[in-house]
Amino acid sequence: MEQNEKIFAQGFSFKRNENAPDFVVGRQSIKVDEAIAFLKSNAKNGWVNLDIKRAKGGNFYCELDTWEAKPKQQPVAQADTSSGEDLPF
């Protein structure tokens, strides 16, 4: 999958009500059947991460967060060629 390809979260909708009090960020609506299918098909280790973004037109949308940490490379261990007799312990 191309890194810039957007995967919209099916069954999820986020709306901001500008007349709501400051402590209300917005409203998340979930269409259960679509959301369950989307979650099952995109789960990794039991989790699905979604980003809430604002479109150029000003509307909000939910997008699948596809970022994955790169595995840490383990240093290559050098083979021990000594007999162990010269070790200080």
Residue 52's pLDDT band (boundaries 50, 70, 90)? very high
pLDDT tens digits along 68-87: 888 888 777 665 556 656 66
Query: Per the domain annotation, does 5 fall within a domain?
Result: no
Q: How far is CA 7 from CA 1, 15, 27, 59, 64, in A?
A: 10, 18, 21, 16, 5
Query: Per the domain annotation, does 26 fall within a domain?
Result: yes
Range of the domain at 51: 12-64
Give the chain's domain count.
1
Query: Per the domain annotation, does 58 fall within a domain?
Result: yes
Query: Per the domain annotation, does 36 fall within a domain?
Result: yes
pLDDT tens digits along 5-50: 899 999 999 999 999 999 999 999 999 999 999 999 999 999 999 9
Query: Per the domain annotation, does 76 fall within a domain?
Result: no
